[in-house]
Structure 1
Amino acid sequence: MEPRSPSPACLLLLLLGASGFFQSYAVEVEVKDASNTTCLYAKWMMKFLIRYETNSSDYKNITLDLPSNVTHDGSVCGNDTQAALVALQFGEGHSWSNNFTKNNETYQGDFVTFTYNTNDTALFPDAKRKGPITVVVKDNMLPVHLNNVYVCHNADSFETENVVQIFWNVTLQAFVQNGTISKKESRCRADTPTSAPTVLPTIANVTTASTSTLSPAPTATPKPVENPDTGNYSLKSGNKTCLLATVGLQLNVSKDKPVLININPKTTSADGTCGNTTATLRLNDGNSTLIAFTFVVKNTSVSVPKFYLKEVNVTLLNHLNGSVISNADNNNFSKWDTFLGSSYMCRKEQTLEINENLQIHTFNLWIQPFLVKENKFSTAEECFADSDLNFLIPITVGMALGFLIILVFISYIIGRRKSRTGYQSV
């Protein structure tokens, strides 16, 4: 759990009125495997600073401390293929979890998920939005050797739009070997000798910062974003390939101002499910984007049914602090349809409208989610945009021939008229 420190101004907004900043209960989790051997250990302190809207449309700031009675149901050991998970439940419907993945000789945090429940009227009196609210944050923890314990004494934080998560006195080891907590330590950045000491904001220093006049930075002309690289993705069912996809992907995020983000196929992994009538391809770029494409088969009663793209789900994380920029879903598509047993191809750029703030641009698309044979694409049906290229040449040639015929015909008529004029009697 290695987060980024929030800005002092944002912290102050949430800390005003809070007393005893570091007064919180420590939580300790020890997970054991089927043989009653310790496989995961964690002990740390944390608290949450939350800003919420009231029914009168103003905003209140509260501090959520860990109580003494915390449960950790659902925590799992993990292995080479399954992530380890620390899961907590506390208070009136609040929960927190962090999962850890193993990669060769190291492990590291993946995503931190925090859910707070505004139905807890003691914490959120007069909350306008009722019910659980979930915040997902990318964990920036550096890789730790498998036989090392991760230690971070200094306070560090995750900051999202309305929530700041603060951690300190962290001791953690995922994928414990031989049931024994290691004595070798890997320290966080905040504990390194060169790191600045933790300084909590005060009214004085924030006021000074807010009244200072900063010179505007020169505006640089943004460089145009190039088309994305084309990636090759596949899924297997047993030993057989069941889905093939070749595509370049570009996201267009326009919540505040349009931002184009290319998906890098070199850092993107694919997983999903294959079925007789439904298939899902999930792409994870390992940094900030999760995309899921769902295909279905329609008209199963006919001799040769068709498949098409029905749903696209996108979870977009801010690569700077891991906060969720967008979690969008559109399940009403009817795109990329062709006959079952064939593949669909579109070399030209296409646009998928996920919602008003998010689009996906596809390039060099070639997809076959069903009935893949011998790990190869079947005969492709090309999109209309590609077909335009095939029609353009014959249409152009036909038009040229038409004009030529018209010119010849006009010349012939003029020639005949001149000929008749020459034989008239005087």
Structure 2
Amino acid sequence: MLYYLFRFLEQFGVSGSGMWSYISFRALLALILALVISAWFGEYFIKWMKRHNISETQRDASIDPFGVQKINVPSMGGIIIIVSILVPCLLLGRLRNIYLILMLVTTVWLGLLGFLDDYIKIFKKNKDGLPGRFKIVGQVLLGLFVGLTLYLSPDATIRENIEMQQHGQTTEIVHKSQAVKSTKTTIPFVKENNFDYAELVSFCGKYKTQAGWIVFVLVTIFVITAVSNGANLNDGMDGMAAGNSAIIFIALGILAYVSSHIEFASYLNIMYVPGSQELVIFTCATVGALIGFLWYNAYPAQIFMGDTGSLAIGGIIAVLAIIIHKELLIPILCGIFLLESLSVILQVEWYKLGKRKGVKQRIFKRTPIHDNFRVLPSQLDPECKYLCKWPHGAWHESKITIRFWITTIILAALTIITLKIR
């Protein structure tokens, strides 16, 4: 809103109004505003929740070897994050930008889905919350909406990067002059770094392009569902999901910026995505919201994120990566989320396999994987066979969180480096 106001005032020569046309100015302002809103609103939200005795069901203290009791800690902290994202974006963003619209819809939709889950846990005293199938349906519907919007919207286009040989071995990267709709995405570690989903269905002949878009929509649904659930599993320790997500969004913000800048896109040999600069506003607002939330969520947490925040954050990451055609980098960038999900899947399947053989067995001491690091030998089931008993001692929750942050920083740096490692 303020963007349009100051662009209007610029026509009358109002001093300083021209600054609102700069992405860097609006992005940094969004970060600061989101951080301030998150810190200020968070304090009042926590007090209001405590005053009305609205808190998550007591967490099981037996899983913490240090015996930390987490009683009467408010949940639904994702509301703080979502409000802190939406307000700066509505004030500072170009609201007619299709990509920003998609991000706002994603935030609200998954926020509501997570809120419903938290509501059932807190007010209905049902620790299982919203049945998993309803979450999956909500994520699938969002993926379908995002995929079809990117297919149907005339504003969702790219300019493909191509290599041109000049003066012998010198190679120059240029972009096609015409912006087109495309099912291509960036694939890491290969020289020809554009992969077209339509090539997977080349057997469809003249219908290859249409079939390629079907594959793209299916990939979109899968990525959104997987990353959203991965972020949800990662939200198990104070500051864990918020810190990891903030790091991931910084990397995505860099990728969005270089994708929206034709000179940087040429230098890195990636697709130019016109209009994606508004995503930088969104990512900066999200980083500010998460950092502000960490003020209260860092150990010992004064409030939990809840599914209201974790489901939304995961979905936002996925949609943002899909829009800038970098979804195949997610396994690297969101390696922690992937590890959390795989640990649960492998643990369940390994346990089921042993049960059929009449053997009690597990791969890890406990899952999701972050819980594996805070289990004492005395807490292990003596009748169960464990493939992995490392570490032999328990780490403190804050140490686990910081080490996961460090791992995510390394993965984020590696993700950006992949644009040049081919």
TM-score normalised by structure 2 residue count = 0.21
Higher strand residue share: 1
Higher helix residue share: 2
TM-score normalised by structure 1 residue count = 0.21
Higher relative contact order (CA 8 A, sep 6+): 2
Look at both structures and tell me which one has the larger radius of gyration over its CA atoms. Answer: 1
